[in-house]
């Protein structure tokens, strides 16, 4: 019996799922109880366990997740700002959108995008 590693994304505990296909043969997957990361479905339980345990542990997955979340926040803030620019909102620089962009660490980037006077 192979031991299941904890979730590489959130360090959560995982569950072996047996999927009942009725008259068809059942399949197996492994999933995280917390963030719902999952393997695909496998005919053999051992193959599902192997797939789960082969996740790329050489990478700092929580760091990658944090970076993706940061990028999502920045993209969201930029989309809101872009909407304001498109609508020629004169109060743009004092708006919530601008504060959100500041919080997302975008002021340096926005300054670099300014046209010379
Ligand atoms: Zn997880």
How do residues 51-63 score in pLDDT, each as one tens digit?
999 877 678 888 9
Structural domain range at position 25: 1-59
Do residue 55 and residue 72 come from a single domain? no
- Higher-pLDDT residue of 56, 21: 21
Tell me: do 70 and 49 sit in the same domain. Answer: no
46 and 12 in a single domain? The answer is: yes
The chain-wide mean pLDDT, for the chain, equals 89
Domain co-membership, 39 together with 72 = no
Domain count, the chain: 2
CA of 45 to the centre of ligand 1 (A): 20
**Are residues 51 and 8 located together in one domain of the fold?**
yes
Between 21 and 100, the higher pLDDT residue: 100
**CA of 48 relative to ligand 1 center, distance in Å:** 16
Compute the distance from residue 49 Cα to the ligand 1 centre, in Å: 15
Tell me the three state secondary structure of residue 77: helix
Is position 48 within any domain? yes
Same-domain pairing of 4 and 45: yes
Residues sharing a CB contact under 8 Å with residue 77, sequence separation 6 or more, in sequence order: 97, 100, 101, 103, 104, 106
Ligand 1 centroid – CA 67 distance (Å): 16
Note whether residue 117 is domain-resident.
Answer: no
Mean pLDDT of 20-37: 91
Asked if residues 17 and 30 have their Cβ atoms less than 8 Å apart, the reply is yes
Neighbours of 79 (CB within 10 A): 11
CA gap 39, 23 in Å, rounded:
23
CA dist., res. 9 & res. 62, Å (int): 5
Instruction: Return d(Cα 110, Cα 113) in angstroms, integer.
Output: 5
Dig out the tokens for 79 from the structure: 């989309």
End residue of a domain, out of 18, 37, 59: 59
Per-residue pLDDT at 23: 82
Does one domain contain both 1 and 51?
A: yes
CA distance linking residue 31 with residue 44, whole number of Å: 15
């Amino acid at each position: 019996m192979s031991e299941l590693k904890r979730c590489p994304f959130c360090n959560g505990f995982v569950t072996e799922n047996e999927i009942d296909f009725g008259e068809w043969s059942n399949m197996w997957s492994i999933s995280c109880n917390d963030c719902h990361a999952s393997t695909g479905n496998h005919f053999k339980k051992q193959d599902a366990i192997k797939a789960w345990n082969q996740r790329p542990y050489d990478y700092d997955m929580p760091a990658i997740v944090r970076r993706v979340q940061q990028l999502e926040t920045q993209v969201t803030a930029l989309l809101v700002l872009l909407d304001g620019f498109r609508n020629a909102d004169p109060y743009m620089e004092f708006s919530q959108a601008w504060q959100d962009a500041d919080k997302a660490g975008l002021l340096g980037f926005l300054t670099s995008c300014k046209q010379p006077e």
